[in-house]
Chains A and B, each alone.
Chain A
């Protein structure tokens, strides 16, 4: 049983980036699987790829074991792999030059609706053909990428404390000084409230047991 475990997260949305300009349909017909770099199970870079493989049949080969997205970037630039999938905020900041120069293209986004600065990049959800696939994507991609950096309190924490902390976090993340620091570091602060995070987490607990079992198998 869980109560009030999640109360805030800062914004993040997974985006699949490839170190060459190709489109998803072109990749789907590729004769050999496209190599995508990943950290390991439990990480966006891995889990998104696994769910896409299972639900859309995307012909990708996940190469696991990279220590982080910096290594994936380097491997993509050296041609060892074709690309990877991780937070758009991070890609925008660390791969900016390559994005601007057209050496890196964004081919797919995992958000529930298109991000403001990626209006023409297709949504992963739009590729799902069956209800089953949509459910798996929602539970395995959309929700986890939406709550990627959350703060949690132990079960049984008094409600007034939860509310105080929720307000403190929201106030902090709207603090002009903090936003100025973040702006200087070119970091995006896009929080969602504790209430919304809680709703997303409880959505996962209501998942159909058959879908949950299938997802477990996929993410292993």
Chain B
């Protein structure tokens, strides 16, 4: 109880409230990441006591994932890279008019997860040490592979595409300077690529741009149907309790996976989502607005904080960037993470550790209470006409992509991955494995290199590696076998020859074949390039490229010969004639390009004003009053909040530089 009392003493409680307020805003705004904000706040803790410092920092860190879920559900833009998986079912729920339910479920499960993680933090530290020390680099590498194949295996009949997407993600993770030798890999001599491709622009582009295109095609509000009370917030809260066992399991996934160094919420959210899908008897509902798809990641991304803190507190080994910054806070406060954190005073700091646990619990309770006050108003956003939201969402995408590293090139990356995400969603390629590959790539590469440098190829024979390999193979084979069984059973019921027809298997040279060919060509080029990297820097590109090209060739063969998996149309809403879909798609793509050109030529603030005005007047044909009001509001949002209040150093517009009105 002493820990709880300490949290409620003044000024620790006040500082926690300030931390919560900052974390709340940072979580909602895409691009402004929790780690960046934590780092910016670090200098303020020098004058604080340890309890005050951790109340302030953990209060902030504990809530970003909860509020990040809000942006993911409402707009389809991940508020944080750790809340991307909430989009997969949360945003379709919003489209179905169930935004309130999705938000209620996300926020309640977040609270559940956070409390679970905090309790584990309190209980698990003494027993976790032998557990983590059992794993060596080879086992960590296999665990990373297991994570990717686990998520890829959810792709059902499109398993091959799922694995290929995972390979693609792992390959994207190799772009940049090789971490050991410093050799440039696939950077095209571009300085901004030295640091690799950022997770934030990729995640935002990957999910948000296809949603914007879809919103424009549908021509309606985000919520395409009204479902009344069923879509309400309290229904989501009830769902959390109805599915309490799933929420508990996903909280456990979040916490215990996060104990492994290198596995943060960006990973655990997907594993929890995969588990939610895999454990459901009705998998087809997922991706179309299944509340379990929100509950799983909602719980896991919040329970991760407790798990990550376990390794930081117990070993002094930060499991994620957030934890590395908190580790800095430990050192600033003169604390050495380790067994002393569990020893009562005067020899140790047990009370402080318990105050951390309570900070996570109390700050989440406060955040959830605040969220519930505003949820009804937030849900109304989904009933606003899409045309009014599109310019605002585009601005958020661009600003979010820029704000992480303050480089304009990331705004182009967001567009590139937006295009890729859209093509993949159109052609039935699963996107989560690619994202997870990108997240786990650096860890997988690092552990593969360490394993090889340490043991040669002998690491392949370690018992832990063999067991994990068997689990991976079983995880890939079981869905295939059960799918075949289902198909056979279905075929017997429907008709003996209900499988792919002979016509369907004629050679096809269409978009799907072309996309697979591009993937094969990409891996071939990557392998060719990697010849000059040397054995150190080339190991991982080869380890990814070889299976990538082989799987790609099989996929290309399948696409060309017409062996295609059954694909369901997942988008709800009224039927729209194909020619209208085509016209609206081209129009929105041109507008997106126009917005990006405006950001480049006029700078972010002015471009937001001009492009929003033009879009609302020309494309949306809004009345002047509404057009001007919204344009000025958007401008004030970018200029006032991002440029002035947060001091995001937007580059000046190129046109203004050419005209001598700004310096470049």
Contacts and interface: CB of A to CB of B under 8 A. Distances in A.
Given A41-B182, A75-B137, A70 B336 contact: no
B135 A78 contact: yes
B453 A64 contact: yes
A80 B182 contact: no
B383 interface: no
A41 B46 CA distance: 34
A65 B180 CA distance: 6
A74 B336 contact: no
Interface string A37-51: 000111000000000
Given A63-B453, A184-B333, A73 B181 contact: no
Interface string A58-97: 0000011111001101110111110000000000011011
B181 A41 contact: yes
Contacts of A81: 454
- Please indicate which of the listed interface residues A73, A78, A96 has the most CB atoms of chain B within 10 Å of its own CB: A78
B334 A185 contact: yes
A44 B132 CA distance: 27
A97 B336 contact: yes
Nearest to B337: A94
A35 interface: yes
B366 interface: no
Contact of A71 (B134, B317, B338, B339): B317
A160 interface: no
Contacts of B132: 74, 78
A74 B317 contact: yes
A113 interface: no
- Please indicate which of the listed interface residues B132, B181, B453 has the most CB atoms of chain A within 10 Å of its own CB: B453
A65 B443 CA distance: 11
Interface residues of B, number: 30
Contacts of A75: 136-137
Contacts of B182: 40-42
B316 A94 contact: yes
A97 B446 contact: no
A54 to B, nearest CB: 18
Given A40-B179, A41-B181, A73 B336 contact: no
A67 B331 CA distance: 19
B539 to A, nearest CB: 10
A181 B179 CA distance: 33
Contacts of A40: 179-182
B450 A66 contact: yes
A42 B454 CA distance: 20
A4 to B, nearest CB: 27
A185 B332 contact: yes
A184 B332 CA distance: 7
B133 interface: yes
Nearest to B311: A74
Given A63-B453, A65-B180, A93 B336 contact: yes
Contact of B336 (A41, A66, A77, A94): A94
- Please indicate which of the listed interface residues B182, B331, B340 has the most CB atoms of chain A within 10 Å of its own CB: B331
A35 B455 CA distance: 10
Nearest to B134: A78
A39 to B, nearest CB: 8
Interface in B305-352: 315-318, 327, 331-334, 336, 338-340
A152 interface: no
A79 B316 CA distance: 17
Given A97-B339, A186-B336, A73 B317 contact: yes
B317 A93 contact: no
B333 A74 contact: no
A66 B339 CA distance: 24
B261 interface: yes
Nearest to A77: B133
A200 B137 CA distance: 38
A187 interface: yes
Contacts of A71: 261, 317
A100 to B, nearest CB: 11
Nearest to A39: B180
A80 B333 contact: no
A96 B348 CA distance: 14
A76 to B, nearest CB: 10
11 contacts: A40-B180, A40-B181, A41-B180, A70-B316, A73-B315, A75-B136, A75-B137, A81-B454, A97-B338, A186-B336, A187-B331
Interface of A: 35, 40-42, 63-67, 70-71, 73-75, 77-81, 93-94, 96-97, 181, 184-187
Given A71-B261, A93-B336, 8 more contacts: A40-B179, A64-B180, A64-B450, A65-B450, A67-B179, A74-B315, A181-B46, A185-B334
